[in-house]
Structure 1
Amino acid sequence: MDTEHVLRTFVEYYEDQGHRRITGSTLLPEPGDPVLFTSAGMHPLTPYLEGRPHPLGRRLVNVQRCLRTTDLDEVGDSTHLTVFEMLGTWSLGDYEGSRSLDWAHRLLTEGLGVDPGLLHATVYGGGEQVGPDTESLRLWQERGVPVERTVDDNWWSNGPVGPCGPDSEIFLWSGDTPPRSTPTGDDRWVEVWNHVMMRHRRLDDGRLVPLPQRNVDTGLGLERLAMLLQGKSSVFECDVFEPWRRLLPVLWPLDEPSFRVVCDHLRSAVVIVGDGVRPSNTGRGYVLRRLVRRLLTVLWRDDPSRGLGDLPDELITHTLDHFRQDGDPGLPGLVRRLLVEEERRFRRLLDRGRNVLARPRFRGPLGEEDFHYLHDTHGLPRELVTSLREGEYPETEGVGAVRS
C-alpha cells in the first residue's frame, strides 16, 4: 500500500464518519503564531480549538505538511524526518476521546490491515491537576490492546502556555520478533498516532483552566505508517523516497547514515523554498540556510568537489509534486538557483573563516569576546568557528568556484 493509497484511505474513512476535509496550510504559520514553522496540524486550527466556530463544522480531517527542527539531531535514524506529512482529525467540541480511539483502531486493523497483535497504546496516568485517563484506558482494554500508563510522555502541549491535555498514543511493533516489553522499554515500538484530549489551557502561572469546549486533536505520521505497512526498516525506504534511492547514490556514493541526512535536508530545503522562504541569517531563512550547510558538511566529507548543481531535476520536481507545490512551472529552476547560490556562499564563508582563524590572535583558546568579534565583524557564527577549529570541514578553496 503506497503512501497515496494510505492517504486516500485515511481521508475517505473519516469522511464516512462525518468529517469534512480541509486544505492543509503551508509550512508558514498564520501571523501572530509564535512558532517559525507549522510543526503540527493543530497550528492553523488553534482559534477553532479555543472556541471559534469553524465554517465547515465540528468534525474535520486534513493532510498537513510539517517541519520540526527539534528532531534535527535525530534525523538519520529510522523514524525521524525534518519535513513530513501529518494526517489529522479534529473534534471541535463534538465527540470524546474514546470514540476517536475506537475509530482509529478500526481503521488500522480493518481498513489498513494491521495485525491487532502488533499494537500497543499508552495513556495518561494522572498528575497533580488532572487525574488519570480512565476513559482511554477502558477503551484499549476492551479492544484487547496492551496499555502502558505514563505521565509526562502522555501530556501534550504546544508550549509553556496555551491549549493542552492528556493524550493516548498508538504504537506499532517494528521488530522481526514477536512483540515484547512496552513503548518506554523497547524502541522497536514506533509511535504512529497521537490522540490528544485537548480540554485545558495552561496559564502563565502553571494553572490549568478548562477550554470553552472539549476537543480531540489527532495526528498520524504518514511516512512512518507507510514504512510499517510496507515492511520497511526505515522511513527512508518507503515509496516516497524511491527516486532518491534510485538517483542519489549514483551521483554521490554515501554510507547509509550520510545518505539519510543529505536526502532529508535536501528534500526539506526544496519544500521550504517551495513555501516561499529564502535563505537569510535570521528566522525561517536561517533554518533553511542551516539545513543546506549541514547537508553540505556531510556531502563534502569524502569529496569537496561535490556540488548541488548536479542534483537531478527529477528529485526537485518529485518533491514539489508530492507536497502539492507544483503550481508554478518556474519553481524547480528557482529552487536549483537558490541551492547553488547557498553552496557558493558557504564555500566563500569557509575560505574566509580559515583565513581569519589563521591569524595569531585566534590560535589559542577563544573567549566570548573573540566569538562576538568573529560574528559581528566577519560574519562567522560560533558553531562554524568551532567546527573549523576542530577540522570538521574539508579544504574547499578553489573547489567548485564556478559550478552551476
Structure 2
Amino acid sequence: MMGCLRRPKWPSNLFCVLAAVVLSVAVSISPSDAQQRVRPGLAPLPNKPSLGTLGERINSNTIAIVSGNINAAWLTIAYDLSAVLDRGNDFRVLPVIGRGGTQNVRDVRYLKGIDLGITVTPVLTRFRRTGELGNIDDKIVYITKLFNQEMHVLVRADSGITSLEQLRGKTVNFSDAGSATQQSAREVFKRLNIEVKEVNTGQGDAHEAMKRGEMAGTILSNAMPSPAIARLRPADGFRLIPVPYSTEFHEDYYPTTISHETYPNLIPKGQSIDTIAYGSMIVAYNWPKNTDRHRRVSQFVDAFFSQFSEFQKPPRHPKWREVNLAANIPGWHRFDAAEEWLARNRAQQQAAVGSQQDFDRFLAARPATPGKITDMTSVDRERLFQEFVKWSQAKNRR
C-alpha cells in the first residue's frame, strides 16, 4: 500500500522553473492592481488616502486626555469634552481611560501621545513634596480648576460601624492603585492617625468582598453623584458614614455634605452626612512655545474656553455648573495660552459668574458663620465661591 502512494521523483530543475514562474507572477502584481482587481459587477475599492493628506490632518488635530475609569465622573467629563468640541478631522479630543489622578500625572509627564490629564490638588502637592517626578513646577501646568471631589466612605449597613475611628485595624479598600482616591485616603487616615489595612481594587469588586465579610469598608473620592454609589440599592445592604471636617484637613480639603437627594437609596429623606472634598483640575505638559504639541494644547484651550457655556447645559455632567474657568490654583502655574485667553476675555468671565453686586447680595443673604477666621485662606475662598455659585443658580431658577 505504501508503495502505491510513493511520491514520484520530479527533476530538480522542474521545481526551479515552477518557482520562478510563481515568483514572477507575484512580483508583477502591484498593490494597486490587487486592490483594483475585483469580481465582475462590483465596483473597485478606492485607494487609501496617503498619510500626507487625511492621515496627517487627523494626527495633527487630535489631542488625547487621560481621565478615569467607569467608577469616576472623570470619564464622563472627558466624553463631554470630546462630544462638545468635536469638529471631525479638523479637531478632536480623544478620551483615554486612566488609572486615576496619581497615574494621570505620571502619564502627562512621561507617556508619549498624552498631553492632557485630570488630577487633583493633593496629588500634585505630594509629587512636589517627594520629588518622585523631579521638579514638576515647570513641567506640569493647569488649564483650569474643575470641581470638587467628595469623599465617600461606604460600610455594610449591619456592621455597626458609624465612624472612621471604628475602621482602625480593619481591612479597607482605597480603590485602584494609582488613583486619586488612594492618595487622598492615605492622607486622611494618616492625618487622623488611624491605621487600617489597605487593599486596592475596583469598587464593584470591593462591594462583593464586603458582602462576603472580607472588607470593612471601601472609599471613593468622586464627583457627586458617583455612578458606583448611585447604582446601589437598599437591598445591597450598604450605607455611607461621615468624614467630619477638622483642622487636620484645612490645607487641602473643603467641608461639604452628602444629601438624601444625591443618594436616596443610602441616606434617609431629610438627612445628610458630613464629608470632605478637594479640587480636581485639567493639567497639561508644559510644552515649549512654537512646538506642535504646544499648538495642540493651545487649540484645545481656545475651543474649550470659547464653548464653555455648552458644558453647563443638559445632558452634560451637572458638575460642569460648578466650574469657574478663571479660578486660580494657588502655588501652581496656568498654561500660558489659557492665561492669555482669560486676559482677553476677562469681562465675559466676570459676567458668567455674576457681578460684584450679585456677590454683595449673596454675602448679605448668607448667615454669619460662628468662629469664622478673619484672614481667609484659599480653601475658605474656594468654599465661599462654591456657595456663591449655588446661590446664583438657585436665584436664576426662581
Higher relative contact order (CA 8 A, sep 6+): 2
TM-score range, shorter chain: under 0.3
Query: Which one has a bigger Cα radius of gyration?
Result: 2
User: What is the TM-score of this pair, normalised by structure 2?
Assistant: 0.25
